[in-house]
Amino acid sequence: MEIVSRAKESSIVLALDFPFHNPTTRDELLTKALSTLKLVSPYVCSVKINHHLTLPLGLFEGVQELVDQIHESGCLAIMDCKINDIGATNQVISEYYYSAGFDALIANPFIGWEEGLKPIFETAQRLDRGVILLNYMSHKGSPEGYGQTIIDSQTGEKIPQYVYFAKKTLEWRADGAVVGATYPEKISEIYSILNEEIPIYSPGVGAQGGSAELAVKAGSRFLIVGREIVQSHNPASAASKLKTEANAPKV
């Protein structure tokens, strides 16, 4: 990701998410996604796809076409599937997404390592792909799960759930950590744990109230932006503005 980011001089990850579309308008949705991608790709380094497109378009039909276009534009493709199942299922899920061309996928560390995340990491290593782990999401309910206090089974210490996840993200050598831009204080804390070894990806800029400037100052390396761009009357202009804000020197 760092190589692509430097080449494109951007740290913006486009979340190519659209509101619900009637299934009968599938071709219209694909056309809209391809058009938005073409407009915005000069200003972003990567594109994240969620169920917003995989459900109506199909993985090996419309979505794979989008992934091919993402790569042709010089960007990387991230699948935001938030994998959270048993290991055997996780391996099959990851195999399918990587086969469709995705460079990395997002997984949930709640499932643990043995018979959980381990098969995903093994598949990613075999195929030279990436795994990004959720540490603290961007929505208002995040503190109920990621912010709860737990007891570390290894040390007996009481720590926040997100601190435990950050430590595991470092231990398991993930390729990235997701921390919501709406919680810059959590970005800063997790950044200190990751020790600049693993980049932070921050969603929630714009529509959810997160600040690009504050997220970057707190330690975010990449900003994941969806509605602020895709629902703008001028997606290219919105993406260009965010790219400039993210590249502004930290003060």
The model's pLDDT over 186-219, given as tens digits with 9 standing for 90+, comes to 999 999 999 889 999 999 998 888 999 999 999 9
For residue 85, pLDDT over 80 is answered with yes
**Cβ contacts of residue 202 below 8 Å, gap of 6+?**
138, 178, 179, 180, 181, 187, 210, 215, 220, 222, 223, 224
Choose the catalytic residue: 32, 82, 167, 168. 82
pTM: 0.95
Q: Are strands 200-203 and 158-160 parallel, antiparallel or unpaired?
A: unpaired
CA 233, 239, 240 angle in degrees (round to 5)? 110
Contact 66, 53 (CB under 8 A): yes
For 21-77, the pLDDT digits (tens) are: 776 788 999 999 999 999 999 999 999 999 999 999 999 989 999 999 999 999 999
CA–CA separation, 77 and 74 (whole Å) = 10
Q: Fold for domain 2-247?
A: TIM Barrel (3.20.20)
Asked about 82 being catalytic, the answer comes back as yes
Q: What average pLDDT does this structure show over 85-100?
A: 98
Segment 109-123, tens digit of pLDDT: 999 999 999 999 999
